[in-house]
Amino acid sequence: MLRGEPLKAALAEALREADGLGGQERRFTAFAVRELSRHQRLLDLAARLLGHTMGKVGLTEDQALVRYALWRRIFCGEGWTRIGPEVRLPGPVRPRTIKDQLLQEVVETPLPEAPLPDSPAERLAVRYSFPTWFVQRLAEVYPEDELAGLLASLDEEPALHFRVRPPGTRDAVLAALAEEGVAAEPVAAAPDAVRVVDASHRIFETKVMKSGRLQVQDVGSQLISEVCRPAGGSLEGLTVADVCAGAGGKTLALADFVGPRGRVLAGDRSRRRLAEARERVRHFSLKQVAFPHPLPLSDADVLLIDAPCSGTGSLAREPDQKWKLTAKEIAKYQATQSELLDEVARQAKPGTLIVYATCSVMPEEDEAVVEAFLAKHPDFTLEPVGDVLGAERAALAASGPYLKALPPRVPGGGFFAARLRKTAQG
């Protein structure tokens, strides 16, 4: 991963090649790797304060080893008695540029106090290990205490959330899970969301899971599907086009909402991800989902554009991405999003609802795209998401007319959505 491969892919490959590891060891390995990436800036600062800058450590693998020792010390509260057997030679069998003594010093030397930056945004960037430019941009939008809560949440290992199927059966599913000995609880922000309290992953072996009553899905992602509903009504029997279906998470939710008399038309520019969506649709036997190419957008009553984005709302799951993003890349995403929204809008019939959504917390990809679109398209109006969510959920997950499902108020990742109604022929 330190050589540039996506963390998710690098970790998957390493675990595939690792023999003799049990489930608990594999989960710890994945967690530790994400933690080293998640807290990289703070760990590197600690190393510098101890006189061991990463530039002095020859191999990237050894840089990771120093970070690991510091992570176990600072975040896990462990001493050399525990850390030493994990990192010292003969340890990982490979070339090494550092000695055990250096790692012991990293763990046992008193940690000097770091001088605090003058800027509140930079202090938060250091404390929660984010690029300074990223936090400075968010500081223009969010008050300091709200921003601190958002960064802290994006800095944590995410909990496992599920969507209950069919909609409206959450209490029955929770009762069935309890009978199987799995602890789970409802999540207030979304009507069908549950969080697993049991960390053993036994839920995947339950009858409830194997019978198709649960789908792994983030809470904010569930809310995007919710705001595709008509205000005060139902999607049952309607046609919904999932324009950027990806791996099909929202496609499955929309299929449950439209029911057997409705249709979901799914498409995506990535053939690989769309193949995954097809497989998931087959797994759940959802005959109301089709994959026509090109998508007949003018046939749809609702068009969901889950636009390609920076994924900054998902940094808890893929922390390495925060070190790869730049302001220039954000601008490129914004241009792509605007072009996609314009293209879909041209093909939508009058009366159609377009839901524009991202898993980004950057205003350039969210409100700015919608506001620029409305300025160019007087044939569209913005409908408040609160009309669909209701007052209680809107208080948690809405900001003005928009869905802004942000942690910690809404657990999980950060998501955005806007409801755009075509009122006349454009």
In one letter, which amino acid is 63?
Q
For residue 391, give the H/E element and its range.
helix 391-397
- Report the half-sphere exposure of 65 (CA within 13 A, side-chain side): 25
CA-to-CA distance for 335 and 246, rounded, in angstroms? 20
* Gyration radius of the chain's alpha carbons: 23
If phi over 0 gives left and psi between -120 and 50 gives alpha, with beta otherwise, what is residue 162?
beta
Q: Which of 228, 244, 309, 359 is catalytic?
A: 359
CA-based angle 249:9:309, to the nearest 5? 50
The 3-state DSSP class for residue 36 equals helix
The response to whether 306 counts as a known ligand-binding position is yes
Annotated catalytic residue 76: no
In one letter, which amino acid is 80?
W
Task: For helices 60-74 and 80-87, give the axis angle rounded to 10 degrees.
Answer: 160
In one letter, which amino acid is 258?
V
Phi, psi (5° rounding) for residue 10?
-65, -40
Binding-site positions read: 268, 306
Binding-site residue ranges for S-adenosyl-L-methionine: 268, 306
State the catalytic residues. 359
